[in-house]
Structures are given as C-alpha cells and as structure tokens.
Amino acid sequence: MRLIILGPPGAGKGTQADFIVKKYKIPHISTGDILRENIKDETDLGKKAKDYMDKGSLVPDELVIALVQERITREDCKEGFLLDGFPRTTAQAVALDAELRKLGISLDRAINIMVDPELLIERAVGRRVCKTCGATYHVTFNPPEEEGKCDIDHTTLIQRDDDTEETVKNRIQVYTNQTSPLIDYYKAQGLLLNVNGAQEIDAVFNDIVAGLEQ
Ligand code: AP5
Ligand code: MG
Ligand code: ZN
C-alpha cells in the first residue's frame, strides 16, 4: 500500500501514521522527523533546514524532494510506504508523481485528516515527544503513564522547538497557503480519503482503516 497523509500541523498525522504502518507493515517516512534527525546530527541538510523549521516556514522544495526521491527507492519501500508531511507544496506533489511514474508505481490513497484550527494550537503546544524512540504524547489527550516519561523507554519527554504558540500559528498559516491546495490536487486524481480528525485517536484510526478497506 502506497499512502500519503495530509493535514494541518497538530492534526494527528504522526499519531495515526504509527498505527497505520503497524497494521499494513510499511515504513513510516516523515520528512519532519528526517529533518529533525539531520539537525540533531548536524549534517549539511540539517544546517540548511534549521532556520526554516525554527520559524515554522517550509524547507526549500529541492532539499525535501531529493530526500524523498532517495528514500522511496530503498529496499524497504518495495511493498509500499506511508509519506507523512510530504508533499507539502504543489511542486512537491508534481515531483512525487513524476518519480512514481519513473518507478512504475502509483499512490493508492491520500488520507486527509481534517481538524478545525482552534483545536490545533492546543494539540501542538501540549505535545511531548521522546527523542529516544520517537513516541508522541499529549499532556491532556494522550498522557504517558508516568508524567514526563516515555512509557516505552522511560526517557524524559521533551517539547519540539517549533511547538510554541507563535510558531504553531505561523505553521497553520503556511499550511493554509501552501499545502491545503493539495486537497483538491488529490481529489482530482480520485485518491482523497477525508477523515474527521476531531474525534478520539482510536475513532480516527477506525475511520482511516474503514476508508482504506472500502
Ligand atoms: P512536521 O514534523 O511534518 O510537522 P507538522 O506538519 O507541523 O505536523 P506535526 O508533526 O506538528 O503534527 P502531526 O499532524 O504529526 O500531529 P501529531 O500526531 O504529532 O514538519 C515540521 C517542519 O519541518 C515544518 O514546519 C517544515 O519546516 C519542515 N518540513 C517537514 N516536511 C516538509 C516538506 N515536505 N517540505 C518543506 N518543509 C518540510 O499530534 C499532535 C498532538 O496532538 C500530539 O500531542 C498528539 O498526542 C495529539 N493528538 C493526536 N491525535 C489526537 C486526537 N485525535 N485527539 C486529541 N489529541 C490528539
Ligand atoms: Mg508529525
Ligand atoms: Zn521513548
């Protein structure tokens, strides 16, 4: 299964992606996670991406397109993949289509998680992440068993640098201007699967599976 997951910042893309990749046994490719990894490791890509990400702006298309082109040709993507946070501009979507065509494959669905802007800030600002295993929590909506510690490995949870209220507001604006046109782009291709993201985490996942298996 070859999938992309769309939605505004804090919609729950990463949360749902974790469930989807477990069920369908495909790799989870999050450009945000890959870029944060590069920043941590101080690679050339990380150095180029950092200022954009800290402000909540998009990293230039050519950098992320090259990253994804390389990633989806790896062995573990043979049976499928889930792209989370890519494409994010029309140029990225067109480049992805061209790359898939070259590889002789195509997307099965574009999952669109819909959440009203009022809910997004609270979700993003309350998010806590584990830098050891990547698990995501929320102080209110999905708290860990022990406050501030990862359930899986007990690492102290941290807040993402771009999860301040001001940066989240900018990210939502960037999403509205540059990414939301992709909803129509994939609708026109007959690939769009709209899901109500304003429900409990399990209910959102049930709707995604029902939509994929229709
Ligand atoms: P990225 O990491 O992709 O961030 P984003 O799109 O802003 O999305 P988030 O990761 O913030 O939200 P999410 O939808 O994954 O929500 P989550 O599941 O964590 O990108 C970061 C930056 O990298 C960008 O700003 C840009 O600079 C750069 N970048 C990345 N890709 C790029 C690209 N293709 N081109 C250019 N630049 C790129 O959930 C959020 C919180 O809500 C969590 O705490 C969670 O527990 C909670 N939650 C989840 N679901 C629910 C629910 N149903 N009910 C209640 N709470 C919930
Ligand atoms: Mg995410
Ligand atoms: Zn962990």
Per-residue pLDDT of 160-181, as tens digits, reads 999 999 999 999 999 999 999 9
For residue 77, the model assigns a pLDDT of 97
- From 4, 13, 40, 57, mutation site for ligand 1 pocket: most ligand atoms within 8 A of C-beta: 13
Compute, in angstroms, the gap from residue 53 CA to the centroid of ligand 2: 13
Tell me the HSE value of 101 on the side-chain side, using a 13 A CA sphere. 6
- DSSP-based three-state secondary structure for 162: coil
Catalytic residue (choose from 13, 36, 109, 128)? 13
Q: Is 109 left (phi over 0), alpha (psi -120 to 50) or beta?
A: beta
- The label of the residue with tokens 């001001």 reads 166
For residue 209, the model assigns a pLDDT of 98
For residue 96, the model assigns a pLDDT of 98
Catalytic residue (choose from 109, 123, 128, 171)? 171
For residue 149, the model assigns a pLDDT of 98
Per-residue pLDDT of 192-203, as tens digits, reads 999 999 999 999
Q: What DSSP string describes 45-78?
A: HHHHHHHHHHHTPPPPHHHHHHHHHHHTTSGGGT
Output the pTM of the full model. Answer: 0.97
Residues 39/143, Cβ–Cβ less than 8 Å = no
* Distance of alpha carbon 42 from alpha carbon 118, whole angstroms: 35
Which residue, by CA, sits nearest to atom 7 of ligand 1?
9
